[in-house]
Structure 1
Amino acid sequence: MTARPDTATQHVTALTHHGQGRLADGTLVPRVLPGEDISPRPDGSWRIVTPSPDRVAAPCPHFNACGGCAMQHASDPLVADWKAGIVRGALAGQGIEGEVAGVLSSPPQSRRRARLAARRLKKGALLGFHARASDTVVDNPQCRILTPGLMALRPALLDLVQMAAPRSREIGLMLTDSPAGADVVVEEGRDLDVGLRQDAAAWAAAAGVARFTWNNELVALHHGPWQPMGRARVVPPPGAFLQATREGEAALVAVVRGALQGASRVADLFAGVGTFTLPLAESAEVHAVEGEGSMLEALQKGWRGAPGLHRVTTETRDLFRRPLEVADLKAFDAVVIDPPRAGAETQVRALAEARVPVVAYVSCNPASFARDAKALLAAGYCMDPITVVDQFRWSTHVELATRFSLT
């Protein structure tokens, strides 16, 4: 149910997991907070009559228009409590009582990886996130979530948009900050011809980016855009998944390392480019399983270049279609699993059947995590308190990590 005008002042009773305020009649209103009284305006928007003590001034001037953030109007403690509540609510939906150990939030201007939308104009360009529930691109020259390194690249990116974008449609720019410089990927750009390829290479040199890819074609590689992973340096493939902030990644790695302390033979499922594999290899042998072979190649190169690590083996395997079976899992005394939003229902059943002693579970979806947690608990596992990691500051996104162990 969406917001609709009414004649009377109404009370906001709760906040949904999408960050919308719920009124007593079920109406949903964006950018209001629990406990506030609001009244309708003639244009269908809402006026805050009695503000919550947790209402704050949004730090970003683009907040009212931009859909990149949903919760800049709320205090940090409220957002932390709300995100912890989302996790507790998902567990309760599966009949589980779970404890949240804490909420670790990444600071402003820490987002190192983001996909921005862009449009070419008759004069200039638009570059930013979409407006809420819209395909309108909101220009965001004072964005408060991207790293300073990515924001410093903005003038050059606007020039790139004028070069890469056709007038008829939007393009995407996947940006990743790295210690070696930015990794820039153009998505759905104009077709490269000889002249445009030369112009693109010249742009990359002038902008000082580490790597530049256009419609899956490598245009320039000045430096490998490496990321630190434990003792290793990994150069992910262009556009590859990476934890959104260094602080968030460090928090998740700390939970996983603590959960698997003492393990000697570990399987890392949905391993990606080695976010957990390589730190864990400092104290254990690790078998990394991932569906994308290019990501495992990057992981292996990072491992070979790092001194003093234990043996790391890799396996390219679609764990949704071919999960590791019970016989495979018997070789490991611990598993870390970090599935996509859908979770890993079939793989978790195999983990439970194999009685793997310790499972470190990292999730970006409390609902699918709760479903998988229920299966492990039913098999006799105990669940540690959950650490909530808020990498996507001011958003509705929630990540978490915890340990399951057999009694």
Structure 2
Amino acid sequence: MTTETLTIARLGSGGDGIADTPAGPVYVPFTLPGETVAVARVKNHGTVMSMSVASPERITPACVHFGPDGKNGTCGGCTLQHAGDALYHDFKRSLVVNALKSKGLTPDVAPLVTAAPGQRRRVTFTARKTEKGMLLGFNQAGSHHIVSIDHCPIASDGIVSRLDAIRQVAAAIATSAEPFRVTVLETLTGLDLAFEGVKKVGSRERHAVTESVLALRGIARATSDGEILIEPMKPEIEFGGVRVSPPSGGFTQATKPAEEAMADLVLAALGKAKRVADLFAGSGTFALRIARQAKVHAVEGEEKAIKALDHAARNTQGLKPVTIERRDLFRRPLMASELKVYDAVVFDPPRAGAEDQCKELARSGVKTIVAVSCNPISLARDLAILTAAGYRIRLVTPIDQFLWSAHVEAVAVLEK
């Protein structure tokens, strides 16, 4: 380990400051461009010891758990609380712009649709039973150390106000001192707690969880690795006014405002399309909204998610016809011949993107395609496949959903 003084040149894609040195880039967390810092350096990683020049863009973090001086350690949930809005918003937008440029794409990229504190309705905590009680929080970056939290500025009040209740249920299910995860989703009927990685959950733990949930109230469901332990109320969320009961631990957009911003862009792009395919449809985030104005064929590989979508569609009046298909689109994408019957296609894949599906879309000639993505790198690759086949990118809109992180969503609208 050596100590040296560095000047931060820019932010890296992970949100760390980067200093250029003769030996290559050095990554320094919690720093901003233009800052001069003394760091303890190990290979290409620097830890700030002191700062002689601070950026005018530096602000006071919103959370006591953030940064090298954070309470109980450095919470790994956020990386950019020290950056002012202008710098932070530009950084998020640049993640999309730079990913597209790397594939030779220079479409119009809209300003970032911003996020605000207190909007996260879905949060994944790490929990562990200790001699002093139940730890519940987030892992320190690059570490197994759990930073126990007593508040979280990104999470909704409905989650933050129930941290003690979540700890109680976690304590009831814990079978050892091994860490496990709990994904908390705030729904219209109460909190949905999905525990993962708890080993050897037996009848004793099931009974303890049941008693705990019934005594606490306000908890709709508790599951362990997908198995329902207790469900006093079916968890329900709304997609454009359509009520859906999502599967335990299933994918839902982390904030309602970001989901609505994406949905507005999707619906506007579809215009007067009469037949639409929604690929990687999940539990119906877009399909059920689209069904207000067009016939929809929803395709999804996860059985419980597509069943939830189907049940919601069947039990909601005023929708256009919704057909469903369970299909692994990574192994068996919809072929060009199957796609030709649609006026428009929407796809919202996991982080890996939809490379094989885009190759078929490129051959299909579908007039309008809307790509929704949580990964600018795979999005750029997928859009390059489509533009090479004659599609034009009308607009790309970056959307902030994971506040103060290095993750950004995007919606791209293409036309033939």
TM bucket normalised to smaller: over 0.9
1:58 matched residue in structure 2: 61
Unaligned residue ranges in structure 1 (runs of 5+): none
Secondary structure at 2:307's aligned position in 1? helix
CA contact (8 A) 1:339 1:363 kept: yes
User: Who is 2:274 aligned against?
Assistant: 264
**Higher mean C-alpha deviation, range 189-198 or range 92-101:** 189-198
Q: Superposed, which structure 2 residues align to 1:211-222 within 5 Å?
A: 211-222=221-232
Distance 1:104 1:206 in 2: 40
1-structure distance, mates of 2:132, 2:175: 13
Residues 98-177 of structure 1 aligned to structure 2 (within 5 Å):
98-177=107-186
Which of 234, 244, 253 does residue 244 from structure 2 map onto? Answer: 234
- The one-letter code sitting in structure 2 at the alignment partner of 1:92 is K
Look up the SS of the partner of 2:268 in the other structure. helix
Secondary structure of residue in 2 paired with 1:340: coil
Which of the residues 296, 314, 322 maps onto 1:312? 322
What is the aligned partner in structure 2 of residue 74 from structure 1? 83
Q: C-alpha offsets along residues 277-305 of structure 1, whole Å, 9 cap, x if unaligned?
A: 00100000000000011111100111122
Aligned match of 2:349:
339
Structure 1: distance between partners of 2:102 and 2:287: 32
Identity, % of aligned positions = 39
Q: What CA distance in whole angstroms lies between the structure 1 residues aligned with 2:47 and 2:204?
A: 50
CA contact (8 A) 2:184 2:191 kept: yes
Q: Secondary structure at the match of 2:8?
A: strand
Give the SS at the match of 2:351. coil
Per the alignment, do residues 215 and 96 of structure 1 end up closer, same or farther by CA in structure 2, a change over 3 Å counting? closer
| 1:103-149 deviation digits (Å, cap 9, x = unpaired) | 11221111111211001111211101100111111111121111111
> Any idea what SS the aligned residue of 1:271 has?
coil
Q: Are the aligned partners of 1:232 and 1:305 in contact in 2 as well (CA < 8 Å)? A: no
Aligned match of 2:93? 84
Q: Structure 1 residue 216: deviation in Å?
A: 2.7
In 1, the alpha carbon distance for the partners of 2:118 and 2:405 equals: 14
Q: Deviations over 1:65-98 (max 9, x none)?
A: 1000000000122111001111111111111112
SS in 2 for 1:45: strand
Out of 49, 52, 68, the residue aligned to residue 49 of structure 1 is: 52
Residue 11 in 1 paired to residue 14 in 2? no
Match of 2:35 in 1: 36
Establish whether residue 322 from structure 1 lines up as the match of residue 325 from structure 2: no
Name the amino acid aligned to 1:282: R
Does residue 400 in structure 1 map to residue 403 in structure 2? Answer: no
Distance, in Å, in 2 between the alignment partners of 1:335 and 1:44 is 47
Do the aligned partners of 1:115 and 1:175 also contact (CA within 8 Å) in 2? Answer: yes
Using the size of structure 2 for normalisation, the TM-score is 0.94
The CA distance in 1 between the partners of 2:196 and 2:291, in whole Å, is 35
Q: Which amino acid aligns with 2:60?
A: A
The answer to whether the 8 A contact 1:235-1:298 is kept is yes
Mapped partners of 2:210, 2:310: distance in 1:
29
Shift of 1:382: 0.9
SS at match of 1:251: helix
After TM superposition, which residue ranges in structure 1, 4 or more long, deviate above 4 angstroms? Answer: 41-44
Instruction: Note if contact 1:334-1:357 (Cα within 8 Å) is conserved in structure 2.
Output: yes
- Superimposed CA distance per residue, residues 128-171 of structure 1 (whole angstroms, 9 cap, x where no aligned partner): 11001111111111211111111122112222232222333101
Q: Is the 8 A contact 1:231 1:307 kept in 2?
A: no
Cα shift at 1:41: 5.9
From 377, 383, 399, the counterpart of 1:367: 377
Select between 148-157 and 395-404 the one with higher mean Cα deviation: 148-157
Deviation at 1:190, TM superposition (A): 4.6
Equivalenced residues, count: 402
2:173, 2:206 within 8 Å by CA — same for their partners in 1?
no
Query: Does structure 2 conserve the Cα–Cα contact (< 8 Å) formed by 1:5 and 1:45?
Result: no
Check conservation: 1:124, 1:158, Cα contact below 8 A: no
Contact 1:389–1:398 under 8 Å retained in 2: yes
CA RMSD of aligned residues (A): 1.5
SS of residue in 2 equivalent to 1:89:
helix
Output the TM-score relative to the length of structure 1.
0.96
Q: Give, as a single letter, the amino acid of the residue that structure 2 aligns with 1:287.
A: H
| Alpha-carbon distance, 1:6 to partner | 3.6
Q: SS state of the match for residue 306, structure 1?
A: coil
Q: What letter is aligned with 2:236? A: W
Match of 1:288 among 292, 298, 303: 298
Q: Secondary structure at the match of 1:387?
A: strand
Tell me the amino acid that sits aligned with residue 257 of structure 2: E
User: In 2, distance between residues paired with 1:91 and 1:67?
Assistant: 28
